[in-house]
Amino acid sequence: MPLPPVANFLGDPFIELQSIDSTNNYALAQIHANLAQPGTCYFAHEQTAGKGQRGKSWATEKAANITLSIALKPLFLQPFQQFYLSACVAVAAHHLLNHYAGGTLKVKWPNDLYWQNKKLGGILIENMISERGGDRIKETEQATNWKWAVIGIGININQTNFPPGLKNPVSLKQISGQNFNTIKLAKKLCKTIERFYNELENHGPDTMFEIYNQVLYKKDEAVKFKKGSRHFEATVKSVNQTGQLTVSHSIEEKFDFGEVEWVI
């Protein structure tokens, strides 16, 4: 897909933090204090309490990886379109990093980056939404006006030793055999996200979701899933624009994020 020219917006300013608990927490605090501007990127050389999806932690080695958060005001989107932004960031990260991964990188629903069956990185977006009839801001989906989105991104870059409790991590160095400048790569990532973000704003989500489904992890493959006490095997088909995963076995089913777990 041809990408539009880059405007001087996302990643400007690019703020480096030596050590922080969580770049998402820091970005949210800056927003609450009216100190953030749209497009600001907060990069941490050390993150001591990173956050992952569904309340999980994100462990990372100091000065070895990309741990950053981007503050945006996605005013052209509605709260029910939150997955548009999630897919946009995942596709952008894939677009940049797939080159270094030899064209073998995939997007695991909803927004993880996978190489083979190992996790290279993940995305956590926390949203600030204003309620109807007031100025109070809260992090929720049940509201009328999407004020801010904080895009948290964690990608394993140069780390080669991981805590034994991590299930299936991999780094870009392990995949490619190269060492990377994490700051330069993070700035490239910001600009790549901006291009896809501009595409989403100016042309809508259709092309982006076409790309998302082209690079979908385990697409057209049989995968084991778990839903509560139910274990089943189904073929991964696609992800729709509301973020639902469609799978097929004896019947076709759709699942929202959090409804099912991958058994890998």
For the stretch 87-99, pLDDT in tens is 999 999 999 999 9
pLDDT of residue 112: 96
Tell me: do 55 and 94 sit in the same domain: yes
Domain count for the chain: 2
In a domain, 3, yes or no: no
pLDDT over threshold 80, residue 13: yes
What is the C-alpha end-to-end distance of the chain, expressed in Å? 31
Residue with the larger pLDDT of the pair 3 and 13: 13
Burial 203-219 (b: 16+ CB within 10 A, else e): eebeebbebbbebbbbb
Range of the domain at 71: 14-214
Tell me: do 152 and 121 sit in the same domain: yes
Domain harbouring 68, CATH code: 3.30.930.10
The Cα 63–Cα 87 span in angstroms is: 27
Tell me: do 227 and 111 sit in the same domain: no
In a domain, 156, yes or no: yes
Tell me: do 205 and 118 sit in the same domain: yes
Check residue 31 and give left, alpha or beta (phi > 0: left; psi -120 to 50: alpha).
Answer: alpha
pLDDT over threshold 60, residue 56: no
Tell me: do 232 and 110 sit in the same domain: no
Tell me: do 248 and 134 sit in the same domain: no
Per residue in 227-236, pLDDT (tens digit) is 999 999 999 9
Cβ atoms of 239 and 227 within 8 Å: the answer is no
